[in-house]
Structure 1
Amino acid sequence: MTTTRPDAAVLLPPEVLELWRARVAAVTGDGPARLFADAMTRTLARTLHVLDDDTVFVITGDIPAMWLRDSATQMLPYLRIAGDSPDGPLADVLVGIVRRQLAYLRHDPYANAFNIEANGRCHEPRDLSDDPWLWERKYEIDSLCFPFLLAHQVWAATGRSDHLDATFLAAARAAVATLDRETAHEERSDYRFVRPDTVAIDTLTRDGRGTPVGPTGMTWAGFRPSDDACTYGYHVPGNLMAVHCLRLLAELVPAAGDDPGLVTDAASLADRLAAGIAAYGLVQHGRHGEIWAYEVDGLGHQLLMDDANMPGLLSLPLVAGIAVDDPRYRRTRAFVLSEDNQYFYSGRVAAGVGSPHTPERYVWPIALAVEGLTSESPERALELLQLIATTTAGTGHVHEGFDVDDDNAFTRPWFSWADSMFCALALSLVPAT
């Protein structure tokens, strides 16, 4: 297999980049605008690999693998720009990324991260899977959702439908079948994940089956979007995202050649998941009222928290079609951004949502960007953008997480998803022309 690295200046010509940098600067000032321009260029120049079949492989930054979630969110800020030139090279890349994601999903709907070819590279060679295409096989609901969310975003932004083909239909059928199978995880699933001699959040209990769950109508997940094991098997934000993406298929499938049975099956499954969330995924909180839980097990246990990764409760308007002024979302958001959420941290430098995936009291710029993108206050969104821009420890990179008391203590020196979420927030502040 041969691959080529596209020229960032062709995908995003200097005059176009400068136009958008100036538009961002007019709202945010020069500092955030410089970081915006650098991050927009960096992701295009350093993460993309065009394959022989014109599909596009995307690394996360400092890890040479393609996550279905990360590769979708890394492209978020480019959608608006690609919409100005729907037949241009940037739009071609977006289409190529979706096609690569769908090919991977069709290959193994239980995997979260893939290699550029069948080279056997992996995060941990002792995992049960020996498929040489898989970097990791942690089953996460969002891995089945983000390719279809990005497919819809590309279609809506550019009018392109060349990524909606036979592979799209096959991947959609695989996703619907997998999500349906996992509504009865205990009875119907043969998925197992065991990582020997590791911390609890990197493996599943009960010989790889995960903690026990009862039937709820929701679909099961082994792992969260953080790649950490679920405490309880029904990840509520993931289920809400699945409902949304299953319903998007009604718009996308006809452009791919139509398959009424697939649309019907997807709609029926979405309805069942939504009913399960309504029955089991809501809790009454003493201070905040009725809110969504983060995880439940259908056996009476509920986990109230949020995690910086997407999909999380804070990001529901971005990934699940929930309106920012939805009363339940507002209540849930108030919980997430309060001390009642054990992963909300406040310190001398910043306050925001972190994750058990990173050290205690580390806030994630991704979560700060999500907070801004889902805020009803443009002034608050601008404050968050400027906070991210001033907490890079002078590196010029948006990091995975940093200490709320000292941004010189950070994780992952280059994390392209964080760069892209900062850029998406910056673009959201630029008025439409």
Structure 2
Amino acid sequence: MIALIIFLVLGSLTLRSNAVQHPWALRDASCPDYISYSTRRHGPLSTGALRLPYQRPVVECRTFRSAEVERVINDLKDKFVDTDISRLFENCFPNTLDTTVRWHLPGSAPQSFIVTGDINAEWIRDSTNQLSPYISLLKNDAPLRQLALGAIHTQAEFLTYSPYCNAFQPPTQSRIKPSSNEQSDVVNPAYDPALVFECKYELDSLASFLDLANKYFEATGDSSFVNRDPYFMEAIRNLLMVLDEQALTTYDEDGNDIRSRYTFQRQTSSGTETLSLRGSGNPTNGNTSLIRSAFRPSDDATILQFFIPANAFIAIQLQKAKKLFVAAGLKDLANDLYSRGETIEKGVWEHGVHEHKVFGKVFAYEVDGYGGIINMDDANLPSLLSLPLMGFVDASNDVYQNTRRMLLSKNGNPYFLRGPDFAGIGGPHIGVRYAWPMSLLVLIRTSNDDAEIKSALELVKRTTGGLGLMHESVNVRHSADYTRPWFAWCNSEFGKTILDLAARKPHLLFGEGAAAYLI
């Protein structure tokens, strides 16, 4: 209690300005560590059959506060027929704001450092997805808009320094001590570990940077940051440089191998944690208009480096960016981005679709341009299951529906896992006993089948280990066995899923005849 009073007195100015640049040294002394906090049950418990705990930190210990987010929670929490679902939404929807805004500096050039949860580093992909449920609230919440704009600026600064890297240390001006990933990686181009947490080149990270900028512009109509931000245009130039470098073929016309500018090697006993062929990865045929990705969004190495979900994602984001750059007065760049996106999209359809002997025409997970194909899906986004969510294809598309049937079949997807306690898509990152709740949340948002949605939502609800938060993965045979109690990305995905159902299928949450809830 004394520590809390001290926090209130000394931190009051910061809190009144909506939790901007937090006194983290003081917070560490006065507020519980959320890694530990998230593993214990806190009251009051829900009135549902699962008696789920209330897992939000006390108001004074939340890392950012949004009036609009609180309004949405208050609008919905008493409408749910299932009070356990209500409690999950109340815990999960604000979790990124409650717990992961490690540093935020407002102003004309704001900065926001948003960690993924229990790891003190920012993944570009994760932070974009973590913020995505709040995008539609930006117009009516100026501090929240500053947070999102700060995230764009910080990501741009990261990519200005090292566009090949996926996870970053706190910005130097935050004065937050960097942490080590405890690896001795040999990476080209070299990087400074004081600035970079990990340097796995993942194409979807670049797409995620564009995604956040595009969503911010769509929600606010504000394109001024493109020209005002000192890092943004340099980040765009670096992004295009990477796309050009990673579109190259492995061999020239004379059969000589062309060494990739990016290489990655790690001393490890896990084959998914390093790249073959002296860090270059398996060969690709560059005459495909596809872009290589050394790693997947799971941070696992690709087998065949034309990773189709990321190529689909970057194709759509490049095309969407045309509106942003036209609004910013950069029409030539806008047209170039759109053309690049169209070319990659064409490559996905030409090289990323094949005839499966059981399921018909389907999307491959990875290809190499030589005819090599990997058929599978991983729970991490972007995935093949999530293609409609990224806007690449309508969910009713025949090729997508064939692919979906393949991905949700134990005979079609080696990482579709089913057990007595849980079922869903997993991946090699955790192993063949653990499915990820994230995969079921994507399943729900890409389904129009009420029975399928209800079944998936029930599974997700019952596999929180009694803690009322989403986890990274869950043992399909023993749901009390899970990984990562504090995984903000998946908490945001749950919030996004509930808001999708509230707008699209309100009767499943609020009862027959319920009106759609739109934010």
Shorter chain as denominator, the TM-score bin is over 0.9
1:102 to 134, 156, 161: 156
| Distance in 2 between residues matched to 1:198 and 1:124, nearest whole Å | 15
- Indicate the residue corresponding to 1:126 in structure 2: 184
| Distance in 1 between residues matched to 2:352 and 2:66, nearest whole Å | 43
The answer to which of 190-199 and 235-244 deviates more is: 190-199
Question: Are 1:397 and 1:419, in contact at CA under 8 Å, matched by a contact in 2?
Answer: yes
- Indicate the residue corresponding to 1:432 in structure 2: 517
The answer to which of 44-53 and 236-245 deviates more is: 44-53
2:76 to 12, 23, 27: 23
One-letter code of the match for 1:71? S
1:179 to 235, 243, 251: 243
Displacement, 1:361? 2.5
- Indicate the residue corresponding to 2:29 in structure 1: none
| Distance in 1 between residues matched to 2:472 and 2:95, nearest whole Å | 16
Q: Does 2:482 match 1:416? A: no
Question: Are 2:64 and 2:97, in contact at CA under 8 Å, matched by a contact in 1?
Answer: no
Question: Are 1:291 and 1:331, in contact at CA under 8 Å, matched by a contact in 2?
Answer: yes
Q: Deviations over 1:65-105 (max 9, x none)?
A: 0000000111122123334x1x5212221121122112212
SS of the residue 2:313 aligns to: helix
- Indicate the residue corresponding to 2:221 in structure 1: 159
Question: Are 1:24 and 1:429, in contact at CA under 8 Å, matched by a contact in 2?
Answer: no
| Distance in 2 between residues matched to 1:44 and 1:10, nearest whole Å | 5
The answer to which of 260-269 and 115-124 deviates more is: 115-124
1:251 to 308, 323, 327: 323
Displacement, 1:379? 4.8
Question: Are 1:28 and 1:382, in contact at CA under 8 Å, matched by a contact in 2?
Answer: no
| Distance in 2 between residues matched to 1:268 and 1:42, nearest whole Å | 38
TM-score with structure 1 setting the length: 0.92
Q: Deviations over 1:11-32 (max 9, x none)?
A: 333x852653552552452111
Specify whether residues 67 and 264 from structure 1 end up closer, same or farther in structure 2 by C-alpha distance, changes over 3 A only. same
- Indicate the residue corresponding to 1:111 in structure 2: 165
SS of the residue 2:370 aligns to: coil
Q: Does 2:93 match 1:40? A: yes
Q: Deviations over 1:383-407 (max 9, x none)?
A: 4233212210112221000011221
| Distance in 1 between residues matched to 2:63 and 2:450, nearest whole Å | 31
Q: Deviations over 1:374-426 (max 9, x none)?
A: 11234533442332122101122210000112210111121101111111111
- Indicate the residue corresponding to 1:218 in structure 2: 290
Map 1:199-238 → 2, pairs under 5 A:
199-215=270-286, 216-238=288-310
Map 1:11-410 → 2, pairs under 5 A:
11-13=65-67, 17=70, 19-23=72-76, 25-27=78-80, 29-52=82-105, 54-83=110-139, 85=140, 87-117=141-171, 121-128=179-186, 129-131=190-192, 132-165=194-227, 166=229, 167-184=231-248, 186=250, 187=258, 189-215=260-286, 216-255=288-327, 257-339=328-410, 340-410=412-482
| Distance in 2 between residues matched to 1:336 and 1:330, nearest whole Å | 10
| Distance in 2 between residues matched to 1:252 and 1:318, nearest whole Å | 20
Q: Deviations over 1:94-140 (max 9, x none)?
A: 12112211221222110000000356633244112441211011001
Q: Identify unmatched segments of 5+ residues in structure 1.
A: none
Specify whether residues 159 and 286 from structure 1 end up closer, same or farther in structure 2 by C-alpha distance, changes over 3 A only. same
The answer to which of 145-154 and 16-25 deviates more is: 16-25
Displacement, 1:172? 2.0
Specify whether residues 9 and 159 from structure 1 end up closer, same or farther in structure 2 by C-alpha distance, changes over 3 A only. farther
| Distance in 1 between residues matched to 2:167 and 2:389, nearest whole Å | 22
SS of the residue 1:345 aligns to: strand
| Distance in 2 between residues matched to 1:261 and 1:206, nearest whole Å | 39
Question: Are 1:283 and 1:292, in contact at CA under 8 Å, matched by a contact in 2?
Answer: yes
| Distance in 1 between residues matched to 2:517 and 2:178, nearest whole Å | 46
Displacement, 1:35? 1.5
Question: Are 2:104 and 2:147, in contact at CA under 8 Å, matched by a contact in 1?
Answer: no
Specify whether residues 130 and 400 from structure 1 end up closer, same or farther in structure 2 by C-alpha distance, changes over 3 A only. same
Displacement, 1:156? 1.8
The answer to which of 204-213 and 23-32 deviates more is: 23-32
The RMSD of aligned alpha carbons is 2.3
One-letter code of the match for 2:134? Y
Displacement, 1:227? 0.3
One-letter code of the match for 1:184? L
Question: Are 1:173 and 1:262, in contact at CA under 8 Å, matched by a contact in 2?
Answer: no
- Indicate the residue corresponding to 2:40 in structure 1: none
Question: Are 1:351 and 1:363, in contact at CA under 8 Å, matched by a contact in 2?
Answer: yes
Displacement, 1:261? 3.0
| Distance in 2 between residues matched to 1:126 and 1:318, nearest whole Å | 37
| Distance in 2 between residues matched to 1:277 and 1:60, nearest whole Å | 30
Between Structure 1 and Structure 2, how many residues are aligned?
428
TM-score with structure 2 setting the length: 0.78
Matched residues, percent identical?
33
The answer to which of 62-71 and 175-184 deviates more is: 175-184
Displacement, 1:162? 4.4
| Distance in 1 between residues matched to 2:359 and 2:225, nearest whole Å | 43
For the pair shown, which has the larger CA radius of gyration, 1 or 2?
2
Displacement, 1:188? 7.0
One-letter code of the match for 1:17? E
SS of the residue 1:306 aligns to: coil
